[in-house]
Amino acid sequence: MNGKEVRKDFVFKITVIGNGGAGKTSLIRKYTKGSFQKEYIKTLGAQFSKYDEKIHGNAVKLFFWDIAGQSQFSFMRPTFYKGSKAAIIVFSHGPGEEKSFDDVEEWHEDIKKYCGDIPIILFGNKIDLISPENLNDEKAVKFAKNRNFLGYYRTSAKTGNGVYEAFQAIITNLYNKFKDQ
């Protein structure tokens, strides 16, 4: 090549999983549209959002697959996981939602079973609902480290706190992983 960089296009499917009500849909909406919807609307099965981004002049197409967290949709999940290049596991810091974190291990096992060794990141959502002095996320930090996740991020789909940085961490990881292939 004559020293010029060749523009490449990248397409990444990123699966977003976690218990129902953890804020998966709201986080995706906040990142892709910059908006927040207060009313909870249950995802039925799965929905996907397409988002285009440019990284170093390259076109990056992102498909966020938002997988329903309710157990009645569990039989569909293996089909929805197919082709995922990365995963985001979301749990809620909201009051009374401790089970949300307790189920992270199960979500991780599920994604590993069907997708193998893909990059995974952990989002602790709804930090706006808990005061900073009551936010204890030592278990989440330790879990992410022990499981070799890309990291753990505190997020709030409502305020936007941490959302951009968290999504950028997984997207940048994918871009760097595939740019030289």
Name the 3-class secondary structure at 115. Answer: helix
Crossing angle for the helix pair 163-178 and 24-33, nearest 10 degrees?
80
Task: Convert the pLDDT of each residue in 109-125 to its tens digit.
Answer: 999 999 999 999 999 99
What is the pLDDT confidence band of residue 83, given thresholds at 50, 70 and 90? Answer: very high
pTM for this predicted structure: 0.89
Name the 3-class secondary structure at 155. Answer: coil
DSSP conformational letter for 19 = S
pLDDT for 34 beyond 70: yes
Higher-confidence residue of 74 and 104: namely: 104
Q: Using alpha carbons, select from 94, 115, 95, 98 the residue that is nearest to residue 17.
A: 115
Alpha-carbon gap, residue 129 to 126, rounded angstroms: 6
Q: How many CA atoms lie within 13 A of 106 on its CB side?
A: 12
- The pLDDT value given to residue 1: 43
Q: Using alpha carbons, select from 88, 110, 90, 112 the residue that is nearest to residue 101.
A: 90
Structural domains of the chain, ranges and CATH numbers in brackets: 9-136+152-178 (3.40.50.300)
